[in-house]
């Protein structure tokens, strides 16, 4: 099989295989870089959502305290 191939043909096949390997590696690195960027963006979004959730929790706690205070005021007004 290989006896029928000339040196030029063997070099062309070897060069093509090396070229394909390099192209696939570059494409894989580009995809990995894109995924890394997307993961970074998702982490930023997650952090923003967590901060917003913490802010909402603090506001709800303040609101609950205010409602309890109003209840106490209403109860004390009814007693008088």
Instruction: State residue 54's pLDDT score.
Output: 95
Q: Where are the domains of the chain?
A: 2-79
Mean pLDDT calculated for residue range 14-37:
91
Alpha-carbon distance of 56 to 49, in angstroms, equals 10
Six-digit token pair at 10? 């063997």
Instruction: State residue 2's pLDDT score.
Output: 60
Instruction: State residue 33's pLDDT score.
Output: 86
Alpha-carbon distance of 55 to 61, in angstroms, equals 10
Mean pLDDT calculated for residue range 11-32:
92
Helix or strand or coil: residue 6? coil
Considering 11-15, 28-32, 57-61, the range whose residues carry the highest mean pLDDT is 57-61
Alpha carbon dihedral 24, 25, 29, 30, in 10-degree steps, equals -30
Instruction: State residue 78's pLDDT score.
Output: 83
């Amino acid at each position: 099989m290989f006896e029928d191939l000339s040196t030029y043909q063997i070099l062309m096949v070897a060069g093509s295989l090396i070229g394909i390997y390099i192209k696939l590696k570059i494409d894989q690195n580009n995809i990995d870089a894109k995924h890394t960027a997307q993961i970074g963006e998702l982490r930023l979004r997650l952090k923003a959502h967590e901060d917003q959730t913490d802010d909402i929790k603090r506001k709800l706690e303040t609101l609950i305290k205010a409602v309890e205070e109003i209840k106490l005021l209403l109860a004390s007004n009814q007693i008088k």
